[in-house]
């Protein structure tokens, strides 16, 4: 794997980033040289982004700039927000570079004390005639603001006057580009520390910080991109080697196993046999959507256990599946599993259970939990598990368990674990450690944790998936992949992460072609295979 791909997967905490930088500086990299390099890359990206004009009266971009696609001219005014630390130093280098390239630049810095290097850059900016303002009321108009007030590692709540200034800056109708992290966000949890810059665009420096994948931060980071300034991979690996890994799932990692490899000579039972247990008279759609998700996975054999009254409906939608009609309760839930002759739960490579079941199917969930087959629990399967006592029940299982809760289901399953809405990474990690299950915590940024504490993050998604039935599709897709993986040498965690990535990419693709409002769960199933085409 190439260095750039490895770097793009890494996610670090503030403490880890600090340790990595310390290693770089201890090896002899001058702080001033690194600041020049990083800020130079940021200044270049600001010029490359099309919406930002880049010409002052009388300024003409050089031929070399034009050849590289940098926009030419038109009187752009850029305000640079400068903090007291090295993030402020980065911003001042950006100010200087944009000034030299013909932008009309001014600086806002309400602080009186600065780190030595930042103070030197401020002094030089002043010598160039760049205006410096200390109060928000003095600020002239601008076409763009560059936020360099605070970088990674901020932990205390911002207070006035800087908090009020940030609130006023957020009200301006201009784009704001943040350097490393929008000022005011906690680096690890993404929580807003009193108030925070609402960035249009954020340049994350060196390595991805954890905040970028926490739900509280998403409305503040805008469009995020990584500025790779060539951190040696050896330094990253040295710092992270003893800590549970936190990784982004990238297209490269996901597509490395998709479609799952098949030998030239094979047959349907060698490509996985999945049992879905889902649906009720009240929630027939859950069974259909779960089945369609499983169909898209390419699983060799698909069996679906539903109440007898749903059998003909399922056959009409999934004629290639084996539909197992089961005795049902008066309410239309599955009363007991009635598998085909000479078949029991050990006949399947994986079981997925829960969508549309209703809690009247509690005995069914208890039965599959007691089995020794890899098991995915979702929806009512999770709610029934919560009633049974999730941690104590799961610790008794002898096979792999995958849980796929949203935040509400998570809190019912793990009431003693910190609120998943505020630090989903830590919550998923703790739940997996305590239960021994692989936990897929759904959200705007899905987090997947294994019992060893490792984390995988799905870093792209779409609000289009916030519709009933989307989770059922994921359960079926994941079940089909897990059944296939059981016949191959692929880890469960990698399969879970790949399924979540595939599901989110189908939502993104569908939203692009149809708009976010046009992506119902059935439509989503039609886009799953398009992701791989």
Sequence-separated (6 or more) residues with CB below 8 Å from residue 291: 276, 278, 302, 304, 314, 317, 318, 321, 476
Residues 402 and 516 in one domain: yes
In DSSP notation, 352-373 reads EE-TT--GGGHHHHHHHHTSSS
- For residue 78, give the DSSP letter: E
**39-91 pLDDT tens trace:** 999 999 999 887 544 443 333 333 333 333 434 333 489 999 999 999 999 99
Residues 154 and 262 in one domain: no
Omega before residue 247 within 30° of 0, cis: no
Residues in binding site for (6S)-NADPHX: 86-90, 151-157, 180, 356, 406, 472
Residues 159 and 266 in one domain: no
Q: What is the mean pLDDT of residues 206-235?
A: 95
pLDDT of 233 > 70? The answer is yes
Instruction: Supply angle C-alpha 469, 404, 268, rounded to 5.
Output: 80
**Domain housing 419:** 251-301+345-531
Domain count, the chain: 2
Q: What is the mean pLDDT of residues 117-131?
A: 97
Which pLDDT score is estimated for 73? 36
Residues in binding site: 86-90, 147, 151-157, 180, 183, 356, 406, 442-446, 471-472
- β-partners of residue 201 are 177, 223
pLDDT of 242 > 90? The answer is no
Residues 38 and 66 in one domain: yes
Q: Given 210, 226, 243, which residue is the final one in a domain?
A: 243
Residues 227 and 295 in one domain: no
With respect to residue 329, please indicate whether it lies within any of the assigned structural domains.
no
Residues 11 and 60 in one domain: yes
Helix (H, G, I), strand (E, B) or coil at 240: helix
Which pLDDT score is estimated for 189? 94
Residues 82 and 151 in one domain: yes
**407-446 pLDDT tens trace:** 999 999 999 997 777 788 999 999 999 999 999 999 999 9
Which pLDDT score is estimated for 60? 38
With respect to residue 323, please indicate whether it lies within any of the assigned structural domains.
no
Q: Do strands 223-227 and 246-248 pair parallel, antiparallel, or not at all (unpaired)?
A: unpaired
pLDDT of 97 > 80? The answer is yes
With respect to residue 335, please indicate whether it lies within any of the assigned structural domains.
no
* Cα 97 to Cα 127: distance, rounded to the nearest angstrom: 14
With respect to residue 340, please indicate whether it lies within any of the assigned structural domains.
no
Residues in binding site for K(+): 87, 147, 183
* Cα 475 to Cα 468: distance, rounded to the nearest angstrom: 13
Q: Given 225, 243, 261, which residue is the final one in a domain?
A: 243
pLDDT of 305 > 70? The answer is yes
**460-502 pLDDT tens trace:** 999 999 999 999 999 999 999 999 998 888 889 999 999 999 9
Residues in binding site for AMP: 442-446, 471
pLDDT of 137 > 70? The answer is yes
**353: domain CATH number?**
3.40.1190.20
* Cα 165 to Cα 294: distance, rounded to the nearest angstrom: 52
**217: domain CATH number?**
3.40.50.10260
Which pLDDT score is estimated for 1? 64
* Cα 176 to Cα 51: distance, rounded to the nearest angstrom: 12
Mean pLDDT of the chain: 92
In contact, 438 and 400? CB cutoff 8 Å: yes
């Amino acid at each position: 794997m190439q260095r750039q791909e490895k770097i793009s997967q890494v996610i670090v905490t503030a403490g880890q980033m600090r340790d990595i930088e310390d290693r770089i500086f201890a090896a002899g990299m001058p702080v001033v040289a690194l600041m020049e390099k990083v800020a130079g890359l940021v200044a270049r990206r600001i010029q490359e982004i099309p919406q930002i004009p880049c010409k002052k009266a009388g300024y003409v971009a050089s031929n070399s700039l034009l050849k590289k696609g940098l926009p030419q001219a038109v009187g752009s005014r850029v305000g640079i927000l400068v903090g007291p630390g090295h993030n402020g130093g980065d911003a001042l280098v950006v100010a200087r570079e944009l000034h030299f390239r013909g932008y009309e630049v001014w600086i806002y810095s309400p602080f009186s004390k600065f780190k030595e290097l930042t103070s030197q850059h401020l002094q030089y900016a002043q010598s160039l005639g760049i205006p410096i303002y200390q109060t928000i009321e003095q600020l002239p108009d601008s076409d763009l603001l560059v936020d360099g007030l605070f970088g990674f590692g901020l932990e205390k709540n911002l207070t006035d006057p800087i908090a009020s200034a940030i609130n006023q800056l957020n009200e301006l109708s201009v784009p704001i580009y943040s350097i490393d992290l929008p000022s005011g966000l906690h680096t690890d949890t993404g929580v807003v520390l009193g108030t925070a810059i609402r960035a249009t665009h954020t340049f994350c420096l060196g390595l991805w910080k954890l905040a970028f994948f926490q739900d509280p931060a998403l409305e503040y980071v805008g469009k995020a991109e990584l500025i790779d300034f060539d951190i040696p991979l050896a330094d990253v690996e040295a710092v992270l080697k003893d800590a549970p890994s936190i990784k982004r799932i990238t297209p490269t990692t996901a597509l490395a196993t998709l479609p799952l490899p098949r030998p030239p000579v094979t047959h349907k039972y060698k490509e996985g046999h999945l049992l879905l247990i889902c649906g009720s008279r009240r929630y027939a759609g859950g069974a259909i959507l779960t089945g369609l998700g499983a169909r898209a996975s390419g699983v060799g054999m698909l069996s679906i256990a539903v109440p007898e009254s749903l059998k003909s409906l399922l056959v009409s939608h999934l004629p290639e599946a084996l539909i197992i009609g089961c005795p049902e309760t008066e309410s239309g839930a599955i009363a007991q599993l009635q598998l085909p002759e000479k078949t029991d739960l050990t006949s399947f490579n994986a079981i997925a259970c829960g969508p549309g079941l209703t809690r009247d199917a509690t005995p069914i969930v208890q039965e599959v939990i007691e089995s020794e087959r890899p098991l995915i629990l979702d929806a009512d399967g999770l709610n029934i598990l919560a009633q049974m006592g999730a941690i104590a029940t799961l610790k008794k299982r002898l096979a792999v368990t995958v849980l796929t809760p949203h935040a509400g289901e998570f809190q019912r399953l793990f009431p003693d674990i910190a609120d998943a809405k505020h630090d989903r990474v830590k919550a998923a990690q703790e739940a997996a450690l305590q239960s021994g299950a692989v936990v897929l915590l759904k959200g705007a940024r899905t987090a997947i944790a294994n019992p060893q504490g490792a984390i995988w993050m799905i870093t792209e998604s779409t609000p289009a998936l916030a519709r009933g039935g989307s989770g059922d599709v994921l359960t079926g897709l994941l079940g089909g992949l897990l059944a296939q993986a059981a016949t191959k040498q692929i880890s469960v965690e990698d399969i879970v992460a790949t399924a979540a990535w595939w599901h989110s990419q189908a939502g993104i693709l569908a939203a692009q072609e149809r708009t976010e409002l046009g992506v119902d769960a059935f439509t989503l199933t039609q886009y799953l295979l398009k992701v791989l085409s």
